[in-house]
Amino acid sequence: MRSRLFLKIYLTLLASLAAVAVASAAFVWLGRGEEDSGWQSQRARFITALIPPDLDRHSVEATLERFSRAFDADIAVYDRHGRLIASAGRPLPRDIAKGPWRHDRGTMVTELPDGRAVAARMERPFRPVGRNPLAYLALIAGVIGLAAYPVVRHLTRRLERLRAGVDAWGRGDFVTRVPAQGRDEVAAVARSFNKAADHVERLIKSHRALLANASHELRSPLARLRMAIDLYEQAPDGNRKEEIVRNLAELDTLVEEILMASRLDHVETLDAQEAVDFLALVSEEGARNGVDVSGAPATVSGDVRLLQRLARNLMQNALRHGRPPVTATVSLADSQVELRVRDHGPGIADGESARLFEPFYRPSGRSEAAGGWGLGLALVRQIAERHGGTVRHEAPPDGGACFIVTLPAHRSAQR
């Protein structure tokens, strides 16, 4: 099971080599017959030129004698009826020239165009030495197969490591990553897997932290709501009824923010965007929350509901954790729209600005009864990032806190 892919790839390579070897051998074998036929024809013409038909017996024997000494061969010439005409060297078998001409035990028989036949027995045949092409092709295929083994094994071993990493990750080991060395497709798949694993791990950690913090934050309004309901049942009172309604509204807001944060975690950019009059939107939220709004007209691209939530959360955060007056200012400069929301409260302690936008962050020295910062600022950061913007905190010189959101201006406004 572990090496199934390796065997498939390697056996496919070997089968391809074998097919090429067999096809090449067949081609060479068929071509060799034509080569032999051509060589025999040329050899017959050559011998005929050396021993013409009208040459007398004495001259034929002299010529054969010279050939016999030169090639250390036994040579004989026969007429068309197989009768011996002349010979040199040791006698050849009497039936060598009978029947179809053949090669037998080192004896070469050549039929001449005039019907005669020449038989020669020698240590080295007077013809090209034949070699079996299959042997050479099998040797080449074997060498290639051996050389391909480590390459194929290296490739499949990387795939096996990738599969093992995916299996481990699928079993819940979300910190598992796979090696991504190289620049080929396997390395690209490994890098894509690691990138997806990092993203999923961040989402899981974020959701776990969100669930843990939300569970903790929900306990306070639920406890107050239960107590208010018990007291209201014992002695109905308008103030207690308002407390019940206020706690229900707090629970509803918290659940809505949790759902929105979870949804924004799963998107990188917004699908539907439209041109939004940002100053008018902030002014509307300021009127609802009693915050003074000023600035210059500016247009941004985005989701109206999310941008309303961004402005509302900044204003409510300033009203809840700061002191009045709370002001909001919209400005446009260098193709960037900037929203500043400032309060005149105690401000933020040094060293805590970087953690203000964490979900349910509780500043140092803040009691559990007072609660944490909830998801308000965390949602502001998520909404700003999904619109291609940023959010940061500044400490004004005269005290208080100022949150600054920067968003890209709408393209029509940039022109």
Query: Does 34 score more than 80 pLDDT?
Result: no
Residue 35: per-residue pLDDT: 47
Q: If you average pLDDT over every residue of the chain, what do you get?
A: 76
Query: Does 406 score more than 80 pLDDT?
Result: yes
Q: Which of 212, 202, 383 is nearest to 304 (CA)?
A: 383
Q: Is the pTM of this model over 0.75?
A: no
pLDDT digits (tens, 9 = 90+) for 257-299: 767 776 776 666 676 678 999 999 999 999 999 999 999 999 9
Query: Does 252 score more than 80 pLDDT?
Result: no
Residue spans per domain, the chain: 177-266, 269-414
Q: How many percent of the chain have pLDDT more than 70? A: 74
* CATH fold label, 177-266: Helix Hairpins (1.10.287)
pLDDT digits (tens, 9 = 90+) for 297-354: 999 998 888 898 899 889 988 888 888 899 999 999 888 999 999 998 888 877 677 7
Residue 369: per-residue pLDDT: 47
Residue 207: per-residue pLDDT: 67
pLDDT band at 121; cut points 50, 70, 90 = confident
* Separation CA 282–CA 145 (nearest Å): 73
DSSP 87-105: EESSPPPTTTTSSS---BT
* Separation CA 107–CA 95 (nearest Å): 12
Q: Which of 135-144, 180-189, 360-369, 402-411 has the highest mean pLDDT?
A: 402-411
DSSP 364-384: TT--TTT---TTHHHHHHHHH
Query: Does 70 score more than 50 pLDDT?
Result: yes
Residue 32: per-residue pLDDT: 55
β-bridge mates for residue 332, sequence order: 337
Query: Does 371 score more than 70 pLDDT?
Result: no
pLDDT digits (tens, 9 = 90+) for 143-175: 777 777 777 777 777 777 888 888 888 777 777
* Separation CA 43–CA 38 (nearest Å): 9
* Separation CA 336–CA 233 (nearest Å): 55
* Separation CA 117–CA 77 (nearest Å): 6
To which residue do tokens 């109206």 refer? 304
Exposure string (b/e) for 382-399, b if CB count within 10 Å is 16 or more? bbbebbebebebeeeeee
401-408 and 390-394 strand pairing:
antiparallel
β-bridge mates for residue 394, sequence order: 402
* CATH fold label, 269-414: Heat Shock Protein 90 (3.30.565)
Least confidently predicted of 113-117, 137-141, 168-172, 359-363? 359-363
Query: Does 370 score more than 60 pLDDT?
Result: no
To which residue do tokens 């709004």 refer? 293
Residue 133: per-residue pLDDT: 60
Query: Does 373 score more than 70 pLDDT?
Result: no
Q: How many percent of the chain have pLDDT more than 90? A: 14
Q: What is the rounded average pLDDT of the residues 121-134?
A: 59
Token pair recorded at residue 136: 């050479």
Residue 174: per-residue pLDDT: 74
Q: What is the rounded average pLDDT of the residues 66-73?
A: 80
